[in-house]
Chains A and B, each alone.
Chain A
């Protein structure tokens, strides 16, 4: 039970999240990848708070804040996807060019 094992798992989860964020075509899958990355950050925070600051567990306080922000982000992101789907009739990321050109 060492700190490094948790950090490596979090790094793997974060890299998988980045890969999904960039390569996904479906907009809902992009949101899922963002959730994966936020979970990796949470694992980092809690691992550090357990091994380096186990009396004042301030890392867990911040992980609760991150969980809250993630819930708000998921709600707003899915509402945006729903509203784009209503007007464009697709969830393909390659066709969301409203702000690109």
Chain B
């Protein structure tokens, strides 16, 4: 084992420990703000894993999209909906957590057993591409052109739909009463509705 392989193994171990520990923190910590920041740590460590796997463009996209967009979106959502409320006890809650834990641990052991017993054909050398961006761009604009365009349209539709869902509805009868002129350019929204009847 030369020096480069040693560095790779050490960084793989560190990144794996970071990913699993931070993911456990995301799921188990009671304070959800800590969970959101640990989720950012998971995303950053995942981009380090992608760099270990020679995927430089996907690592950069991971940092830009996940850490820059999704994590910030989740933090804003937490700030919008976070209200310290004591959760009511659910009947059989501990039993449910226990059963879920057993199922997840057994699924993990099954996957680990499968991964370690299968003979993977990885004997041939890994091609040293100068950069993955050229290869990815050729794929995107030749044989994966239709999925690429479809996913672009899907992203646009999802963002427009998110805006429609998240803003309160426009009130038509408020126009008839007549707003002052300086409020005409504002995004008119319905005032907050009273709390719906909870069962």
Contact residues of A with B, CB < 8 Å?
1-9, 11-20, 22-29, 31-33, 35-36, 39, 42-43, 46-47, 49-52, 54-58, 60-61, 63-65, 67-76, 78-83, 85-92, 94-95, 97
Known contacts A4-B120, A36-B26; A16 and B20 CB within 8 A of each other: yes
A13 to B41 CA separation, bound complex (whole angstroms): 13
Interface contact tally, CB-CB below 8 A: 239
Asked if B20 contacts A78 (CB within 8 A), the reply is no
A54 to B53 CA separation, bound complex (whole angstroms): 10
Known contacts A29-B35, A79-B161; A63 and B58 CB within 8 A of each other: yes
B106 to chain A, nearest CB (A): 9
Asked if B20 contacts A6 (CB within 8 A), the reply is no
Asked if A91 contacts B81 (CB within 8 A), the reply is yes
> B16 to chain A: which residues have CB within 8 Å?
5, 9
Asked if A39 contacts B168 (CB within 8 A), the reply is no
B19 to chain A, nearest CB (A): 6
> B78 to chain A: which residues have CB within 8 Å?
28
Asked if B151 contacts A33 (CB within 8 A), the reply is no
Cβ of B3 < 8 Å from any Cβ of A? no
Known contacts A51-B126, A81-B81, A90-B85; A29 and B23 CB within 8 A of each other: no
Known contacts A57-B132, A61-B140, A68-B155; A78 and B61 CB within 8 A of each other: no
> B52 to chain A: which residues have CB within 8 Å?
1
Known contacts A60-B132, A74-B74; A35 and B39 CB within 8 A of each other: yes
Q: Which of B77, B83, B155, B196 contacts A87 (CB 8 A)?
A: B196
How would residues 135 to 165 of chain B score, 1 for a CB under 8 Å from any chain A CB and 0 otherwise? 1100110001001100100110011011101
Asked if B36 contacts A32 (CB within 8 A), the reply is yes
Write the chain B residue with the least CB distance to A87: B196
